[in-house]
């Protein structure tokens, strides 16, 4: 796990520097905003080195080789600021030929409380119910209130 933090903004990343499964993600004020943050890097790139020079910064070197020769070098810098994150990617072509590279980003958010993101169960704020609104606007509801309340 790779934690990065600046004030009330912090990231919990995996060893590759991405948020792919719980409790990884981007947090602010104890709420996880992004539950998934993964770069889709060009095929064949290998992570060579990860460095955390400061608590708010991640620096990585990735490379793709053709035989013994380097073909592409990527320097990735992820910087956490109060309330935001900046990502800088710098590609360097090490070959004699022009290259075309494709980079993508997978993100998703869930806005979970820190404890929910870590797998703690939180009881619902109101009892579970089934609701139905008819075409004429009349509403019907069945509310479930088990006694004693379930322990979770």
Is the per-residue pLDDT at 124 higher than 80?
no
Backbone angles phi, psi at 117, to 5 degrees: -65, -30
What would the pLDDT profile of 139-150 be if each residue is shown by its tens digit? 887 776 766 776
- The 3-state DSSP class for residue 114 equals helix
What per-residue confidence (pLDDT) applies to 47?
A: 98
Element (H, E) at 140: strand 139-143
Mean pLDDT of the chain: 89
Whether the predicted pLDDT of 40 surpasses 90: yes
The domain spans of the chain are 2-143
pTM above 0.85, yes or no: no
Q: Per-residue pLDDT tens for 52-110?
A: 999 999 999 999 998 888 999 999 999 999 999 999 999 999 999 999 999 999 999 88
| More reliable by pLDDT, 134 or 131 | 134
Residue 23: asked if its preceding bond is cis (omega within 30°), the reply is: yes
């Amino acid at each position: 796990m790779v934690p990065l933090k600046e004030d009330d903004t912090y990231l919990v990343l995996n060893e590759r520097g991405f948020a792919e499964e719980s409790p990884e993600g981007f947090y602010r004020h104890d709420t996880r905003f992004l539950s998934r943050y993964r770069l889709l890097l060009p095929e064949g790139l290998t992570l060579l080195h990860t460095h955390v020079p400061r608590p708010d910064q991640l620096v990585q070197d990735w490379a793709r080789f053709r035989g013994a020769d380097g073909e592409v070098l990527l320097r990735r810098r992820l910087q956490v600021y109060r309330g935001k994150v900046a990502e800088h990617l710098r590609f360097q072509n090490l070959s004699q030929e022009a290259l075309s590279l494709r980079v993508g980003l997978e993100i998703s958010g869930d806005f979970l409380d820190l404890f929910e993101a870590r797998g703690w169960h939180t009881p619902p704020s109101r009892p579970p119910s089934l609701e139905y609104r008819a075409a004429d606007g009349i509403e019907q509801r069945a509310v479930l209130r088990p006694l004693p309340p379930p322990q979770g």
